[in-house]
A and B are shown apart, each in its own frame.
Chain A
Amino acid sequence: MKKALSKLAVKVLNKSLRAEADSACALLGYQPRMPETVKKFKKEKK
């Protein structure tokens, strides 16, 4: 169960990271420092 939830969380995070890499900045609120790995991540996970 824990494993399944963790995998689900990773799936949600993958989507969120792709969306972030596809945006000029965070939607509203604070913009945390975006690591360069997020961009590579987007290209790799496409």
Chain B
Amino acid sequence: MTVKNAYDSMADRFAKYLTEEDCICAEEADAYRFGIEVIFLKLVHIASYLLIAVCMKRVLEFIVIFGIFYAFRKNTGGFHARTRLGCYLFSCTAIATALLLAGAELSGKITMGLTAACLIVLFCISPVRHENRSLEEEEISFFRRRLCLLSAIYTIGVILMELTGYGRLAGLLLSGLLLVTALAVLGKQQFCALMLVLFISTGSIFIAYEAEPESGKELVIVTDCSQSMQDTDKEYIVFDFIKSLYAVLPRDYQIGMIAFNNEICAEVPLGSSYAEAAECLR
């Protein structure tokens, strides 16, 4: 039995049962049948997403991302695969990707920039039509109005979070928004959009790496230049070695140096450039 047949059979039987029990009238059976299928699909999907979040140890992140996703998706619509199994696999992958992206550190400027870009895209293409969900003009304007209101609240919230030092939370919200935008774009122009999403994802990951704050890799070298060291290093080769460290170590290392005898005789402040260090050690 295929997944489609299993769902159909279950929904049919339950709707028939409700009709026989006089809980619903026969004309409404179609609508209830649809309702049964949707509820069952949602239960299966949400349970699977939770399982993914638990496995990735990101349950709290999932709650935040899914909350934002839910709020926006109601008004934007978006991509759905053609089969139940395809949709299931695709959406599980999408949730896992969003949870992975949730770990990226973004600066306030990048968060705001990506938020603005996502909202502009959503305004331009929402609500996305789907062949299985017809939208009347009245509904379209209603969803657009609600999207405007939601976006305004979201933007104010993100700005406040950035100002009050809750940038990490703003980053999580952005993951949810990126997911909604990607699926909306994908639903609009499926193949071209896939390319665009790949481009944006790669760009985001690249930016995330670039935006990583200078990490705390600090190296301070303390050198003894007292008389007793004259026998060992008369020509101060140690200074050449320190200069060579500037060339060899990765960019995120900050190097400093203090040379002393009976007092400090040379000093290179932490984070100095190669030229500054060369000048101090001349």
Contact = CB atoms under 8 A, between A and B. Distances in A.
Interface of A: 2-3, 6-7, 9-10, 12-13, 16-17, 20, 22-39, 41
Interface in B126-166: 126-128, 130, 132-136, 139, 143
B236 interface: no
Interface in B11-31: 14, 17-18, 21, 23-24, 27-28, 30-31
A40 to B, nearest CB: 8
Given A24-B127, A28-B73, A6 B39 contact: no
Contacts of A35: 30-31, 34
B116 interface: no
B134 A34 contact: yes
Interface size class of B (residues with CB under 8 A): 35 or more
A32 B75 CA distance: 18
B127 A37 contact: no
B18 A20 contact: no
Given A3-B21, A23-B74, A26-B80, A17 B34 contact: yes
Contacts of B44: 29
